[in-house]
């Protein structure tokens, strides 16, 4: 379960202080953080991912306040417990899709699991593309490969940053469904950050952020 409390952040040298509502997302539950550019939703996601350190507040995942972790301890915790689906597909272009998944496991200090990596790719419908280089994939295929990499370590929390913004209606619906389905199967909490209004009806919990006053709605 993911819970946050009194989470705030201010970028160095700037005036605005982002204050975020408390958030609770249980295992196998999904939450949508929806709002326009400038509302702070990407900042919130980076705080939830442990990529930014909050000015105040806590981020608990299954009882661990990882906002208080630093250095290697934070890297290990993130690698083993948090799956990131970023807006851009940051792959190692010299490696195949499958090898990129295996590197994700190695970076988290986990043993190689070629069968598990192949299974994840198969579940996302891109098993036959495992031996291709990332640049040989379409945008939709790259998005699925990014999701596969986020899932390969069986995370407790999946964070997705604008996962559908570059996709047409059909593929956007497919990616949203895949994220929710795989999170439920893993028993992971899922948080999707987006300005894509097409996803609103897919989620029972929606947090709408405005540039001035974030407000949680259900």
Chunk the chain into consecutive blocks of 10 residues (it has 218) and report each block's average pLDDT, rounded to whole numbers. Answer: 93 79 94 85 92 94 94 91 85 93 88 89 90 90 89 93 83 86 92 92 88 47
In a domain, 97, yes or no: no
Please tell me the predicted confidence (pLDDT) of residue 216.
42
What CATH number did the domain enclosing 47 receive?
3.40.50.300
Please tell me the predicted confidence (pLDDT) of residue 211.
67
Please tell me the predicted confidence (pLDDT) of residue 42.
86
Question: Do 39 and 77 form a contact (C-beta atoms < 8 A)?
Answer: no
In a domain, 197, yes or no: yes
In the chain, how many domains are there?
1
CA end-to-end distance (rounded Å), the chain:
18
Measured CA angle at 135 (ends 157, 142), to 5 deg: 30
In a domain, 40, yes or no: yes
User: What's the half-sphere exposure (Cβ side, CA atoms, 13 Å) at 160?
Assistant: 35
Please tell me the predicted confidence (pLDDT) of residue 39.
78
Please tell me the predicted confidence (pLDDT) of residue 214.
45
In a domain, 57, yes or no: yes
Cα distance between residue 212 and residue 40, in whole Å = 9
Q: What is the DSSP letter of 147?
A: H
Range of the structural domain that residue 44 is part of: 2-90+155-217
Please tell me the predicted confidence (pLDDT) of residue 89.
73
In a domain, 107, yes or no: no
In a domain, 115, yes or no: no
- Give strand pairing partners of 1: none
Please tell me the predicted confidence (pLDDT) of residue 15.
67
In a domain, 120, yes or no: no
Which parts of 35-91 are beta strand (E)?
Answer: 56-61, 64-65, 82-85
In a domain, 131, yes or no: no
pTM: 0.88
């Amino acid at each position: 379960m993911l819970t946050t409390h009194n989470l705030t952040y201010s970028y160095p040298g700037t005036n605005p202080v982002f204050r975020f509502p408390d958030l609770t997302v249980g295992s196998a539950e999904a939450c949508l953080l929806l709002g326009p550019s400038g509302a702070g939703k990407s900042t919130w996601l980076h705080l939830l991912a442990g990529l930014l350190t909050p000015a105040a507040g806590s981020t608990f995942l299954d009882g661990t306040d990882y906002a208080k972790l630093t250095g290697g301890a934070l890297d290990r915790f993130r690698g083993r417990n948090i799956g990131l689906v970023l807006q851009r597909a940051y792959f190692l272009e010299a490696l195949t899709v499958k090898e990129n998944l295996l590197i994700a496991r190695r970076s988290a200090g986990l043993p190689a699991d070629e069968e598990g990596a192949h299974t994840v790719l198969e579940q996302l419908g891109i098993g036959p593309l495992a031996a291709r280089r990332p640049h040989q994939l379409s945008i939709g295929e790259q998005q699925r490969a990014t999701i596969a990499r986020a899932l390969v370590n069986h995370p407790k929390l999946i964070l997705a940053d604008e996962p559908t913004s570059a996709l047409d209606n059909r593929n956007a619906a497919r990616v949203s469904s895949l994220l929710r389905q795989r999170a439920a199967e893993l028993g992971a909490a899922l948080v999707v950050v987006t300005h894509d209004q097409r996803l609103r009806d897919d989620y029972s919990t929606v947090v709408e952020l405005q540039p001035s006053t974030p407000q949680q709605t259900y």
